[in-house]
Every structure is written in structure tokens, then in C-alpha cells.
Amino acid sequence: MTATPRRVTQRDIARLAGVSQATVSLVLNNRADADVRIAPETRDRVLRVIAETGYAADPVARRLASRFNRIIGVFTYEPAFPSGSRDFFHPFLLGIEEYAERVGCDLLLFTSAPVIDGRRRIFHQDNRLRLADGCLLLGREIDADELHRLNRDGYPYVAVGRRDDAGGPVPYVGADYATAVGRLAELAIARGHRRMTYLSMGIDAESSEDRRRGYLATASAAESARHRPATAADAEAVLDDLFADGSTVAFVEDFATAVALERAARRRGLSVPGDLSLLTLGDPTVPVPTELAFTGFRIPREEMGRQAVEVLTRVIDGSASGVQQRLLPCELVEGATLGAPEPAVDRP
């Protein structure tokens, strides 16, 4: 399958012409900055590179060019850059940066928000939301009261991840977890699994609710499809519970818990998937070293970031029709941790 050529950006034009991206923007929009005079030869060089590369300005960028600051805010309810969560948030930020560059927008990361009652708050005495034309919201759990206020104030925003209504519908770009988990449940049933357990993180975020909904809708066809919380710290007790129930497959919401269960099984001389199949429901939120390729699915994090910026720019410039809500498909990963259940035996 032939790869799609990468779209030429203003940054590419600036590099090839040996000028700044701001200069390219001024030439494209046929404008002159009060403090910057563009020499005719410089303008000609930029126009020549544009013609040679076949560059075409994104229509959204043109709509934004004369009416807005072209600054997009990014607010994270959870730290986006510490070592523990860098790997999970990084693809979102890559996608956000890529599309922001494509439409000629700068990104402003709101980092001054204080932590109140253990959580970051976007609204505080010195919040600087109005510096940006609109804002992207990142985080596993986003405060419903703050979404309600954003809706009430009419401030343009888009949540990365599905969010329930908050005094009105919430614009979002999320992942279709329910369908992805349902497909994994169908695979498990097709392999012969009849007793299943869903191991949750014990939180009420929409992403967790969607995963459980997909599991319950499909796994109900099995003999037993139960649900219980679990953490990596109590892997031994969870393993005992799974074997006592006769469960042959576990749907594990937290990747670190799946890794801990596999290691606990090995310590007992058991194998995955020989004695127990483990299915993971998304990418690791923290780095967890393991050489085992788990069966599960990947979250389209980069594409979520890209489309979130696309939706936000349309909200900002008024070209969006109605409240935009998108769910993107997840990519199933075959892995090596889903097998056919063995006949019941006594396990250590």
C-alpha cells in the first residue's frame, strides 16, 4: 500500500526559502507587517518555493488569518510532561502540534492553573484563557462544573476524549472504546471462553464507562461476565479470585495490572494464555516494561490530537455546524495473550 505524501507546510516553505515562518505567512496573505519590510527579492524567493512545492494554504488557515490571534490553548488536567505520563500524552501533543502548524496557529500551554483539592482547575483568579482563541482540554477526568461554565460563557473549546453533557452538549474528539472492547469480547467468545471477568480501575471517567459498556453488551452472551476492580498491587489476590471463579479470560483496563497478573501467573508456574488469557484495553498510561505482546487495541492518540485542533478551529471561525462530537475507531492488536481455554484443572 503506497504511503500518502506528507502535506507541505509553512514550516517547510520557510526552511526551503531560508526565511522565518512569519515571513511566509505575510507573503501568503499579501500583507506587510508594520515593523517588518519584506524585500522584493525575499518575497519572490518565497513565492518561487511555493510554486515549486505546489503548496496550498489550508482553507481554515485563511479564515483564521485576519480575524483571530491564531493562538490555541492547551490545558491538561493531569501533568503532561513528567516521566510517568510522558509516553501516554506525547502522541496527543504530536497530533495537536502537527495540525496547529498546518493551519498556522501557535500553541499556548496553560501551566499556571493551581491544584485545588488535589485537582487542577482551569478557572482561577489569574486564568489567561482569553489570550487564546480557544482551548483544547486533555485529561482522563475533566471537571463537569468547568465544562458547564465554558458552555455558559460561550468560550470555544474541544475536549480530547468523550465527555457527557455539562449544561449543554460538549464538543469532543474521542476514541470508540465501546466498539473496540466489544470486538475483543467477540474474539474471546469465538475462541471458546465462557467465563469472563472485567478488571476495572474503579473510576467513573467516561472512557472507563464506555469500555465497560462495550464489554457488557457483548460478553453477556457468555455463561458468566462479571466485573470487579483490580490494581497491580493486588495481582496475587486477583489471580486467586479469577481461578476461584473459573474465569478463563480477563479484560484488564489498566495495562500495568495486566503485566502484574502475567508475572504473578509465571511465579506460580502458570502461563498466559495457556492457563489464563489477558486482554488489555488501551495503551499504557505509565511506562511498564514487558516483553510480552498483549492482545488488545491501540488508541488513535495522534489522530485524536489532529482532529481536536481541526474541530476547534471550526468552532472558533464559526464554520462548524452544530456541536461537533467524533469517536474514532481503535486499532485491534492481535498480540499473544488470547488463547483457547484449557479444560479446568487445579491451579496453584
**Across residues 262-286, what is the average pLDDT?**
94
Long-range contacts, stretch 238-242, CB < 8 angstroms, 24+ apart: 238/199, 239/264, 239/265, 239/268, 239/276, 241/197, 242/197, 242/276
Task: Please say if the pLDDT value at position 175 is more than 90.
Answer: yes
* Rounded Cα gap, residues 94 and 306, in angstroms: 8
* Rounded Cα gap, residues 119 and 227, in angstroms: 28
* Rounded Cα gap, residues 301 and 231, in angstroms: 24
Q: Which of 84-88, 115-119, 223-227 has the lowest mean pLDDT?
A: 84-88
**Packing angle of the helix pair 86-102, 301-317 (nearest 10 deg):** 40
Task: Please say if the pLDDT value at position 273 is more than 90.
Answer: yes
CB-based contact 47:27 (threshold 8 Å): yes
What pairing do the DSSP bridges indicate for beta strands 331-333 and 295-298? antiparallel
Q: How far is CA 56 from CA 29, 75, 291, in A?
A: 12, 30, 45
List of residues 6+ apart from 253 with CB closer than 8 A: 198, 199, 200, 201, 208, 211, 281, 282
Joined grid coordinates for residue 310: 481541526
Task: Please say if the pLDDT value at position 224 is more than 70.
Answer: yes
Task: Please say if the pLDDT value at position 148 is more than 50.
Answer: yes
* Rounded Cα gap, residues 343 and 288, in angstroms: 31
Opening angle at CA 291, ends 290 and 292, nearest 5: 95
Mean pLDDT (the chain, rounded): 86
CB-based contact 253:197 (threshold 8 Å): no
* Rounded Cα gap, residues 259 and 234, in angstroms: 12
CB-based contact 106:71 (threshold 8 Å): yes
Task: Please say if the pLDDT value at position 28 is more than 80.
Answer: no
What single DSSP character describes residue 199? E
pLDDT for position 182: 97
Structural domains in the chain? 10-57 (1.10.260.40), 71-175+300-329 (3.40.50.2300), 177-299 (3.40.50.2300)
Tracing cell 483544547 back to the chain, one arrives at 136
Out of 14-18, 75-79, 158-162, the most confident range is 158-162
Q: Which of 85-99, 214-228, 250-264, 269-283 has the lowest mean pLDDT?
A: 85-99
pLDDT for position 6: 60
Residue, of 249 and 39, whose pLDDT is higher: 249
What pairing do the DSSP bridges indicate for beta strands 119-120 and 115-116? antiparallel
User: What percent of the chain has a predicted confidence (pLDDT) above 70?
Assistant: 87
Question: pLDDT band at residue 76, thresholds of 50, 70 and 90?
Answer: confident
Phi, psi at 231, each rounded to 5°? -135, 165
Question: pLDDT band at residue 4, thresholds of 50, 70 and 90?
Answer: very low
List of residues 6+ apart from 215 with CB closer than 8 A: 181, 182, 185, 198, 225, 227, 251
Task: Please say if the pLDDT value at position 265 is more than 60.
Answer: yes
Establish how many alpha carbons lie within 13 A of residue 271's alpha carbon, considering only the half-sphere containing its beta carbon.
8
**Across residues 26-45, what is the average pLDDT?**
72
Residue, of 311 and 77, whose pLDDT is higher: 311
Task: Please say if the pLDDT value at position 34 is more than 60.
Answer: no
CB-based contact 120:111 (threshold 8 Å): no
Joined grid coordinates for residue 80: 503532561
What pairing do the DSSP bridges indicate for beta strands 195-200 and 224-229? parallel
